[in-house]
Homo-oligomer: A and B are copies of this chain.
C-alpha cells in the first residue's frame, strides 16, 4: 500500500489552517467536523482537502463571533445530509445579522473613540483642554 498523497496529517492541517494541533483535536471532540475523521492503521488522523476547506470556513465563522455551540449545530445540519437546507440558511442569516450588528456597534464606538483622539490631538498640539480629562473635580476623559 502506498501512502495516499491526498492524506493530510494533523500537522499538515495545522499549517494549512493556522489552527494548532490541540485545537484540531478539540474541534473533533466538539464534533465540529463534517465527518468522523478517519485514522491510519497506526491510529493517526488522516484529513483531506475538504476538511481543510471546511476549517477555513470555520475560521471565518469563529473570527466573526460564532460560538462553538452554533458552529456545531451547523456542522450537524450539514452532516445529516440534504433536506435541512432551510435550517442551514436560517442559521447563516441569523449569523449574518449578528455580524452586521457587531459592525454597526463597533462603528458607533469608533466614532466616539475617534472624537476623543481628535480632541487629544488638538489638546497636545495647542494646549486647549476641551474634551480631555483633567484630574479633579470633574473628569472628562
Binding site for B on A (CB under 8 A): 34-35, 50, 53-54, 57, 60-61, 63-65, 74, 78-79, 81-82, 85-86, 88-89, 92-93, 95-96, 99-100, 102-103, 105-107, 109-110, 112-114, 116-117, 120-121, 123-124, 132-141
Contact = CB atoms under 8 A, between A and B. Distances in A.
Given A113-B96, A120-B88, A139 B54 contact: yes
Contacts of A93: 117
> Is the contact region of chain A dominated by helix, strand, or loop, or is it mixed?
helix
A103 B107 contact: yes
Copies in the complex: 2
A128 to B, nearest CB: 11
Contact of A133 (B78, B138, B141): B78
A113 B92 contact: yes
